[in-house]
Structure 1
Amino acid sequence: MLDTETNQELPIDEALAALKTPPHSIEAEQSVLGGLMLDNEAWDKVGHVLTSEDFYNPAHRKLYLCIQVLAQEMKPFDPVTVAEELDRKGELQDAGGVIYLTELVESIPSVANMDAYAEIVRERAVLRRLISASQRIADSAYRPEGKKADDIVEMAEREMFNISESREKEGGPIGARELLKKAVEKIDELYKTTGAITGITTGFKDLDEMTSGFQRSDMIVVAARPSMGKCIVAGSRVLDPETGKLVLIDDIVRNKEGVLLSLGDDFRLLPASPSAFVDDGMKPVFKVRTALGRTIETTLTHPFLSADGWKPLGELSVGDCVAVPRVLPVFGRETLPEYQLKTLAYFIGDGGTTQSSLRFTNKDESVLADFESAISGFESVKCTRIDNGTRTPSIRVSSDNEQVQSARESFASQLSQQMAQKHLTGEQLAEALGVAKSTVSHWKNAISTPDSSIVPALCKALDVEESALFGEGVPAASWLGKNSVATWLEQQDLLNKLAYEKELPEIVYQLEKSDLALFLRHLFTCDGSAFVQGNGQCRISYASSSPELIRGIQHLLIRFGINAKIRAKANNYENAQTPWELEILSQSGIQTFIDEIGIFSKEERVDAVRTALSAKQSHDNSDTLPESVCDYILGLKGERSWPEIFAAAGKVCPDGYNPHLVGASRRGISRTRAALLAELFHDDYLRNLSESDVYWDEIVSIESMGNKQVYDLTVDKTHNFVAEDFCVHNTTFSMNLVENALLASEKCVVVFSLEMPAEQLMMRSLSSLGRIDQGKVRTGKLEDEDWPKLSNAVKSLKEKKLFIDDTAGISPQEMRTRLRRIRREHGEIGLVMIDYLQLMKIPGFTEGRTNEISEISRSIKAMAKEFEAPIIALSQLNRSLEQRPNKRPVNSDLRESGAIEQDADVIMFIYRDEVYNPDTEHKGVAEIIIGKQRNGPIGSVRLAFIGRFTRFENLAPEAYGNFDDD
């Protein structure tokens, strides 16, 4: 490597050093310092541009810092005064001495070029900072020391942002002359503006009048209660796909964790975890009952998946079909010994647990023998036949006193031997265990045995294993008033339960598949039936006076993919419990039951059903797709004939092929036919429907149940979950604001959707702008008149600068970086929307969630100022407002309200009376309450809410007279 000054070859070490010298310009630094000491007024040109750290030479840093101090103190800073100040601090020699100061002044090329010299110094300083930051980033990447890659990326972005921010920082205060000029120009601009809107229009006339539109640099908070009443009642059960357990939604919300099943866009169930847990207090709820007998209690605003997409219960009627799981492919991991599984099934079915002794009644000898065999697995019990010839035979289960006494005597003998070997007296052992001396005496004489809670201490005192004292186990020698079977049934919550009070124990839901099949096989032995009717129809059913038991069996069958219907049977006896019956509906369901479960002791009847099924043509009239799918298929068919469609797919069309899509013969399409049509049309939507995990069940009743405690869960991406064997759902106003701003401006509009996927958000916008039912947009089942609307909506958005970022848990730093990139590549930003503030995170923040939200809020306000654009941040409200008679929110209802309320320029709340009062006369109306406006009035405006279009619109003026302010 050559030295540029001497033109000589440098040694290798010096060459490497030269290569690594950070960027700098000594000449530019000298020119800046010399020019300042020569012309003190030049400070106004560079004082806000440079800091002492921008200088590479340490001597120059001291000189500049000294000049800065003198300038701030309004003192001259020529070579003499600077030298004197440096000498006073003892830094004159470090800064080069008096001679060097004089040389700086004499060597300045031109004071007129001070701006250019300062810019060179600043540019080199930025390059050095980039090198330094890059080295820190590289070091972190080479030696992460426990840091995650995302943390290092976050650190890298922060480092680069700090450098970028320092370059764009504008200096200090602005003089009155300049401010007056800007103010007059702004007033003139406003004067020339037609109308009252001085910012970004909201699209709503009355709201624009109150706010004059959204102003630059404003932080606008839009708040509402989570889910706005879309809740299910306390006590509803949610299936845990990992354990098979049915978990109360109350517990999931209380513990703020859980796993559940959710329905994807392909109509298949998948595991998911809630991201938000909502306690929504007391609300009016309604019980929905379907043709299958499934029931769930929800608020009117809670959506169900209907044939036309997700719809709130308030928009559904008796006769509408909703999606319920047709299969819940979930089995637990728990196992039980075969004798316990059988005993459990038999006592649930035909067992008596309310008498002085347990009884099992059945007329089938093979069943009675199997029952006795199962009971033999328990310790110290015996079975006694009760058969007087006139009644159905019974078996009484009681303690085997002889076995108990034998086991006690064995324990007494072993205890005495161990005490003798350890040279322990009865008094010593009693003192060690904290019991009476007479108690030990009773043990040694086989009168009683230790309570199970004392056994561990006894074994420790004697230094022996439990088996050395109790060869047949502790229960075999115990008598506590209950035999071992009764004790076990009590643990399963089945003891002392009448027939109509019986429910499936929790353990049953957590059984692995083979154990669950064995349990059901013996449960159906008691009250189940299988037979072929005179007309050749096959039936498998189960009867019980317990609706909860029937409901539990229905759920367990769904796990095998078997759909069964529950119905109440006629009751001919006064004051008797209503009899309930469960019946498996379809051929495929019956076949699955026969193949995977069966019925013990009724094998001949089951075989008869199997034989009858094999002679029938396979069909399933119950598990069909909604009739509206016919319209979708007709849209795919168009004007082509069926032979043409079959030929195009390389198939031969059957003679007279008619899928019954129109006319009097029109009916729901079977899954098999939907699969064929999906193949013919190469259509994924039909294919997904044919392979889906849902059954389309008809609503048969909607009944008011009064006010009850309700809860909700938020599930990211899919926004639904399975509860009580129903598929139930969990940003409308804010997106309408975005749409209106987008159509009225050519600037960039950016949406950060932390909860809803970008594609789903765009589909909502198309529904809103095109005034198309969102269910039709989501499923693609548009009618002829909808296509032009969709085309116009697409056209209105296509050329607009709309950007949607659906990154979950984004940090303010990441958000700022992405906004900078958009501004750099696409131009000025007109509006930003964040959905929602409480889902943002700051990586590594450890000072509590409230402080984190405060920091996020401040960051959002800083971004609004930096980009000179209004930022709309959605925020949640505390549930405290649910406890008030007047549910209209106020500023203090904001969740983590302190910093948010302080930072916000405008706070708006959304209130819909029908959410809390289903019978209100103000249905379809929303109040937008302005709780804070830094530069304007507060108050409220009312808008029309059109749910099927997910759209708010201006309300007709005459409608205002119908309201009474609360």
Structure 2
Amino acid sequence: MNDPLEFDQETAALKVPPHSLEAEQSVLGGLMLDNQAWDHVADRLVADDFYRYEHRLVFNVMIALAEASRPLDVVTLSEALEGRDQLDTVGGLAYLAELARNTPSASNIRAYADIVRERATLRKLIRAASQVAESAFAPQGRPADELVNEAERLVFQISEERPKSGGPVGMSELLAKAVDRIDELFNLQGEMTGLSTGFRDLDDMTSGLQPSDLVIIAGRPSMGKCIMAGSRLVDPATGALVTIDELVACQQAELLTLTDEFRLTPSRASAFVDDGKKPVYRVRTALGREICTTLTHPFLTGDGWRPLARLSVGERVAVPRTLPVFGQERLPQHQVKALAYLIADGGTTQSCAMFTNANPRLREDFAEAIRGFPGMGCRPVERGARTPTLRVCRERWTLARSRRAFGQALREALTRVGMTGQALAGALNVSKASVSAWCHGRTMPAEATFGRLCHVLAMPPAALGIADYAEVAKNATTPVRRFLEAHGAWGKRAPEKRIPAGVFRLEKPLLALFLNRLFACDGSAFVQANGQARISYASSSRELIREVQHLLLRFGILAKIRKKANHYAALSQAPWELEIRDRASLETFVAEIGIFGKAPRLAEVEACLAGKRRHSNRDSLPASVNRYVLAVKGRRPWSSLCEAAGRERPEGSNLHLNGRSARCLSRSRAAELATLLDDDYLARLADSDLYWDEIVEITPLGLQQVYDLTVDGTHNFVAEDICVHNTTFAMNLVEHAVIASDKPVMVFSMEMPAESLMLRMLSSLGRIDQTRVRTGQLEDEDWPRLTSAVNLLKDKQLFIDDTAALSPNEMRSRIRRVVREHGNLALIMIDYLQLMQIPGFSENRTGEISEISRSLKGLAKEFGCPVVALSQLNRSLEQRPNKRPVMSDLRESGAIEQDADIIAFVYRDEVYNPDNPDNQGLAEVIIGKQRNGPIGTVHMAFIGKYTRFEDLAPDTYGEAFGE
């Protein structure tokens, strides 16, 4: 049996980290013997590679001496250590002499250095493994995927810290390589020396993308797709309406976006763009919704997202049919009622608020609401035969009671402090009679005097029975006025009235109460002579009407705005009217909002609706859905489809899906057909959150300040209750690299999901309208093209990583994984550089971008392939007459300009000059820098519906111009 003591010693020895004291001593001793040996180890070792602390101290001093061009002998070294007070720590002069004495020669110092470095690497691996093991054993352990990534990061970090091979190369070797390269190029006979971009003229200028090149492709993120300053977005978390100006200023935006399932869902913006002043156009729909955008800003149509420039009056665009967004804030009910009444029928431009209404129930309800404010009440205004009016004022009895309470409190206070009325009068520089009147509750001191009174008595106002000075001062601002001023509702004439910002943040029941009382004044509900039920609201303020329309939309109520005829000579402008005619909306309004004081009229509306079948002439889907239904149905007769589904034929003898009698499908009919055809897309469309509204006006507004937001993934958002939309050239490079090369291509898409990129590639390669690809509404001629595109890609090695905010180290580890499994890469593409991050980077953003740029150049050299990175441009170029980018327009441009081998700018003049017919469908790729070639401009065709750039050749002119 083995000796236990011997076993423990062996076990302890196994736990000693790998090291070689002999090799470390030989390195240090060799350097002291031969100072020229420093050049052999300086690029191979760092101080931390030494195991013994004393050796690390000695090597650090050697580094300092070598940098100062001083000798490394025993005497100089000992003096330097003595100067740092470290000589005794390392063992004194005797140990240094021993190191030099025990090293016979420095000839093998490089081999000794390699041993030291090798042992140091092993220790780092042990330390990394221990760190990962501790994390794995932790009680509240991290996820396994996170631990795997951490392990990779630690190991690759060790690899990065190892000295790089290489060094100066002699002239003879360089000349030999240069001659070999010239011979290789000669034998190519003008063929591409790098990876072809797929664009003839660009390849001629660059000779392809060269291995180890960092290529920057830059462009403005929104390229002119902007909405006008002042446009409002709803915050789904709070219910607040916030202007796009405010969102861009604070660089944070919670908003609503439309998913591919046609559902509105909360999201947030990832980028904010100030695009200066541009030509803006107001778009108004049949429902009366309005938004002001540039001509290039896309709207969702039945044929997909299309820019305003391609839309005309009469076309239908998608708008939300509901915005189920409610706040969490609360106000007392009497304040909500008072606010609604005074906005609707109130006068707030005189010294006191007025309420004018002929309905006695409303006047009593208003007066009760006002009595909820401390000391406030209402008095009738004698106005002869005119509409009864109530004046909001202080209640005399409450004022007298408060003053008496103050007088009693003042007398008691004077007694407690032992002060006479005469003494108080002298201290305040007022008459004794005034103090007497205060003590008997007949008058109150002026507000400034009251403040001095509290100071003299050393008492707060509450100790004198005054919670609020305004409650006892006859001429002070009343609580009602202060409440209205706080909500921005005081001093507004009728055309200027708006709904206060705080109302949008109210919880649902209080918002319903506000609308209830608002409609009680200026709203109506009735059944017309033609049997059509209708609820309406009128106001001389168009903005107020639009805001009421928005609030109703939160309940899922569709309302239309129209301008009424002006029958009153006293009115300077015609009033505006909001009307609700849709059956579902009418039912929702009656059930969830109602109108105080008009219950009989609402009962008539309910009775009218109960006697009619559900039907809507307005709530229908775009005509493109008819084509989709026919494509899905194919040649199968409706009768066989119904029989197979065990259902009766849809109601009506003719569905009118095509021909001259074609009609747009209602949502209910579309839902029937979705069930019959077992089609999920049609079912989602029928049950979507969208209403398809007709454009009735497109009006130019001239140059206006505009902004844009970027929403990752969906690339759209809701502004002014309309759905509006927000990496093409680089992806065309990727397509060609994937098809032309047998090597893998790696794409890092930190802005767009991998699935969306793949759909875009299929659209580009198959020349299929990208909207039809995204929605699945392919036409007959599209299917062979889609099949061809799929066949082009199915056996290719394309890898897309859509992880957000990657760091260079994380990117390197993922590339290495692909290279290890699939071989060397043909191309790496990054979309885009400014979305990368370095965790824990403490410097400013410019410094961080500089580090990222250097790391990307390092990636290109390490993996021997081109790295193409997209980059943003500064918005300053928008202020110039000529919008073509230049080098200084690169955002955080210093390091990018220095590190990049090629910098190319993508410019489309049609974005900025949409009315110029000569620039439509054209693009420019401006080579602003090329380290090993010329600079200049390459002209191309841009086919928007395929998101594809093409060589500008005669056979592509027609397609480029959409012919």
**Fold conserved between structures, TM > 0.5:** yes
> 1:290 & 1:185 partners in 2: Cα distance?
69
Cα deviation, residue 663, structure 1 = 3.1
Matched, 1:222 2:217: yes
> 1:953 & 1:914 partners in 2: Cα distance?
16
The structure-2 alpha-carbon separation of the partners of 1:434 and 1:494, relative to structure 1 and needing over 3 Å to count, comes to farther
Tell me how many residue pairs correspond in the alignment: 942
| Match of residue 477 from structure 1 | 472
> 1:925 & 1:804 partners in 2: Cα distance?
29
Q: 1:755-779, CA deviations, whole angstroms, 9 ceiling, x for partnerless residues? A: 1111111111111122111111111
| Match of residue 135 from structure 1 | 130
The sequence identity of aligned pairs, in percent, is 57
> 1:909 & 1:169 partners in 2: Cα distance?
34
Matched, 1:722 2:718: yes
> 1:713 & 1:287 partners in 2: Cα distance?
19
- Residue aligned with 1:227, SS: coil
- Residue aligned with 2:292, SS: strand
- Residue aligned with 1:496, SS: coil
Segment of structure 1 superposing worse, 897-906 or 352-361: 352-361
| Match of residue 802 from structure 2 | 806
| Match of residue 941 from structure 2 | 944
Cα deviation, residue 811, structure 1 = 0.4
Matched, 1:350 2:321: no
762, 765, 774: which is aligned to 2:761?
A: 765
544, 548, 551: which is aligned to 2:543?
A: 548
Q: Note if contact 2:527-2:534 (Cα within 8 Å) is conserved in structure 1.
A: yes
Paired letter, 2:579: E
| Match of residue 309 from structure 2 | 314
Paired letter, 1:281: G
Cα deviation, residue 570, structure 1 = 2.5
Cα deviation, residue 212, structure 1 = 1.8
| Match of residue 844 from structure 2 | 848
Cα deviation, residue 9, structure 1 = 7.4
> 1:52 & 1:351 partners in 2: Cα distance?
82
Cα deviation, residue 644, structure 1 = 3.4
Provide the aligned C-alpha RMSD in A: 4.4
Q: Mapping of 1:892-931 within 5 angstroms?
A: 892-921=888-917, 922-931=919-928
> 2:457 & 2:793 partners in 1: Cα distance?
84
Matched, 1:791 2:787: yes
Cα deviation, residue 914, structure 1 = 2.4
Matched, 1:561 2:559: no
Q: Note if contact 2:461-2:467 (Cα within 8 Å) is conserved in structure 1.
A: no
| Match of residue 573 from structure 2 | 577
Paired letter, 2:405: S
> 1:880 & 1:367 partners in 2: Cα distance?
56
Q: Which runs of 5+ in 2 are unaligned?
A: 82-91, 958-963
Q: Note if contact 1:358-1:397 (Cα within 8 Å) is conserved in structure 2.
A: yes
Cα deviation, residue 56, structure 1 = 7.7
> 1:405 & 1:364 partners in 2: Cα distance?
32
Q: Note if contact 1:343-1:374 (Cα within 8 Å) is conserved in structure 2.
A: yes
| Match of residue 236 from structure 1 | 231
> 2:429 & 2:612 partners in 1: Cα distance?
74
| Match of residue 708 from structure 1 | 704
| Match of residue 964 from structure 1 | none
Q: Mapping of 1:199-598 within 5 angstroms?
A: 199-355=194-350, 357-386=352-381, 390-401=385-396, 403-423=398-418, 449=444, 462=457, 466-470=461-465, 473-480=468-475, 482-572=477-567, 576-598=572-594
Paired letter, 2:839: P
Paired letter, 1:925: L
> 2:139 & 2:845 partners in 1: Cα distance?
26
Q: 1:694-715, CA deviations, whole angstroms, 9 ceiling, x for partnerless residues? A: 2111111211110111111222
Q: Note if contact 1:379-1:475 (Cα within 8 Å) is conserved in structure 2.
A: no
The structure-2 alpha-carbon separation of the partners of 1:361 and 1:192, relative to structure 1 and needing over 3 Å to count, comes to same
Q: Note if contact 1:620-1:670 (Cα within 8 Å) is conserved in structure 2.
A: yes
TM-score normalised to structure 1 length = 0.87
Cα deviation, residue 484, structure 1 = 3.7
Q: Note if contact 1:198-1:212 (Cα within 8 Å) is conserved in structure 2.
A: yes
Q: Note if contact 1:83-1:92 (Cα within 8 Å) is conserved in structure 2.
A: no
Q: Note if contact 1:59-1:94 (Cα within 8 Å) is conserved in structure 2.
A: no
Paired letter, 2:927: I
Paired letter, 1:159: L
| Match of residue 17 from structure 1 | 12
Cα deviation, residue 34, structure 1 = 14
Segment of structure 1 superposing worse, 187-196 or 597-606: 187-196
> 2:852 & 2:6 partners in 1: Cα distance?
54
- Residue aligned with 2:265, SS: strand
Q: Note if contact 1:585-1:622 (Cα within 8 Å) is conserved in structure 2.
A: no
Segment of structure 1 superposing worse, 802-811 or 935-944: 935-944
> 2:500 & 2:67 partners in 1: Cα distance?
81
Paired letter, 2:628: Y
> 2:956 & 2:780 partners in 1: Cα distance?
33
> 1:396 & 1:65 partners in 2: Cα distance?
88
- Residue aligned with 2:489, SS: coil
Paired letter, 1:666: A
Q: Note if contact 1:292-1:697 (Cα within 8 Å) is conserved in structure 2.
A: yes
Cα deviation, residue 96, structure 1 = 8.1
> 1:173 & 1:412 partners in 2: Cα distance?
98
Segment of structure 1 superposing worse, 545-554 or 395-404: 395-404
- Residue aligned with 1:281, SS: strand
Q: Note if contact 1:234-1:250 (Cα within 8 Å) is conserved in structure 2.
A: yes
Cα deviation, residue 579, structure 1 = 1.8
| Match of residue 615 from structure 1 | 611
Segment of structure 1 superposing worse, 598-607 or 438-447: 438-447
Cα deviation, residue 315, structure 1 = 2.1
> 1:226 & 1:440 partners in 2: Cα distance?
72
Cα deviation, residue 327, structure 1 = 0.8
> 1:435 & 1:142 partners in 2: Cα distance?
81
Q: 1:792-842, CA deviations, whole angstroms, 9 ceiling, x for partnerless residues? A: 122222222211111111101111111111111111112111111111110
Q: Note if contact 2:337-2:369 (Cα within 8 Å) is conserved in structure 1.
A: yes
Segment of structure 1 superposing worse, 341-350 or 580-589: 341-350
Q: 1:319-349, CA deviations, whole angstroms, 9 ceiling, x for partnerless residues? A: 2221111111111122222222222222222
The structure-2 alpha-carbon separation of the partners of 1:115 and 1:799, relative to structure 1 and needing over 3 Å to count, comes to farther
Cα deviation, residue 781, structure 1 = 0.5
Cα deviation, residue 597, structure 1 = 0.7
> 1:259 & 1:438 partners in 2: Cα distance?
62
Paired letter, 2:805: G
Paired letter, 2:672: L
Q: Note if contact 2:471-2:478 (Cα within 8 Å) is conserved in structure 1.
A: no
| Match of residue 604 from structure 1 | 600
Q: Mapping of 1:26-105 within 5 angstroms?
A: none
906, 928, 933: which is aligned to 2:930?
A: 933
Q: Which runs of 5+ in 1 are unaligned?
A: 3-7, 74-80, 961-966
> 2:530 & 2:844 partners in 1: Cα distance?
70
The structure-2 alpha-carbon separation of the partners of 1:450 and 1:593, relative to structure 1 and needing over 3 Å to count, comes to farther
> 1:55 & 1:729 partners in 2: Cα distance?
59
Q: Note if contact 1:67-1:82 (Cα within 8 Å) is conserved in structure 2.
A: no
Cα deviation, residue 275, structure 1 = 1.8
Segment of structure 1 superposing worse, 426-435 or 346-355: 426-435
| Match of residue 78 from structure 1 | none
Cα deviation, residue 608, structure 1 = 0.9
Q: Note if contact 2:941-2:956 (Cα within 8 Å) is conserved in structure 1.
A: no
> 1:631 & 1:154 partners in 2: Cα distance?
49
